[in-house]
Structure 1
């Protein structure tokens, strides 16, 4: 009888532990999704404002750019800052909004429409941004505006 009671308690305690782990995982997942949502919201507002300083906090040591003004390749943080500053000076943002955000933990990305004025003409471009978590910080690994 004692052996049966011991086995029952052992099984029950393992089920409780598994239930707690599942709860923690779901909770952590919700937190991770909220953090990603906040990062994408901050990036979206940075682009909408044409605010390179605010956007640059998401640039890593190597960011890949493919921009409509012919800039292509990997750039350091300092280079990326000035490339974006020049880009936003040439293409004055009139509106920007992400229309799709994928919060996959291994490869989160977003796409959107970038509306701008350049040399007296209004136009739009498609935007693609991918992120990668380095340490405890999300960095932009690719920024495409074409």
Structure 2
């Protein structure tokens, strides 16, 4: 009986961790898709109440979820995404993160930027705590 209880509890912990990793992967997929298609709404529901945003254009600071949406939307209206791909993804951490390369068009001039995103577990839900685009 004790062995069964231990096995059940151990499986339950593993299952819970798998769900959390799947939630993290889902956020990263939505983030990648959103940047690729200039569709912030695909990942904006994952913003924390206060997220740190640091952008290539000099905007940097802590923003509410609503402000974060508009700060990134305004940035992408100038640095129009051509493509975005996450190339480094770490999901099995207490603070999951990912990074990738954004290719953009700024007034007819093509450029690239390194993008970094990190997540934080807040009230048992993964939220975007930081986005850096430099």
User: Do they superpose with TM above 0.5?
Assistant: yes
How far apart in 1 are the matches of 2:17 and 2:66? 33
2:102 maps to 1:114: yes
TM superposition shift of 1:105? 4.3
For structure 1, list consecutive stretches of 5 or more residues without a partner in the other structure: 1-12
Q: 1:75 aligns with which of 56, 63, 73?
A: 63
Q: Deviation at 1:141?
A: 0.7
User: Would you say the 8 A contact 2:54–2:61 is kept in 1?
Assistant: yes
CA contact (8 A) 2:23 2:126 kept: no
2:43 counterpart SS class? helix
> Which of 33, 37, 58 is the matching residue for 1:45?
33
**Greater RCO between the two (CA within 8 Å, min separation 6)?**
2
Q: Distance in 1 between matches of 2:16 and 2:49?
A: 28
Paired with 1:134 and 1:19, the residues of 2 have a C-alpha distance of 28
User: More strand by proportion, 1 or 2?
Assistant: 2
Q: 1:27 aligns with which of 12, 15, 26?
A: 15
Could you tell me which runs of 5 or more consecutive residues in structure 2 were left unpaired when the two chains were aligned.
Answer: none
The TM-score with structure 1 as length reference comes to 0.85
Runs of 4+ in 1 over 4 A off after TM superposition: none
| Count of aligned residue pairs for this structure pair | 134
Q: TM-score, normalization: structure 2?
A: 0.93
What's the secondary structure of 2:35's corresponding residue? Answer: helix
- Relative to its length, the structure with more helix (as a share) is 1
| Per-residue Cα deviation, 1:41-74 (whole angstroms, up to 9, x for no partner) | 1111111111122221111221111100000111
Deviations 1:81-123 (A, max 9, x none): 2211110100110000100111134201001111100011111
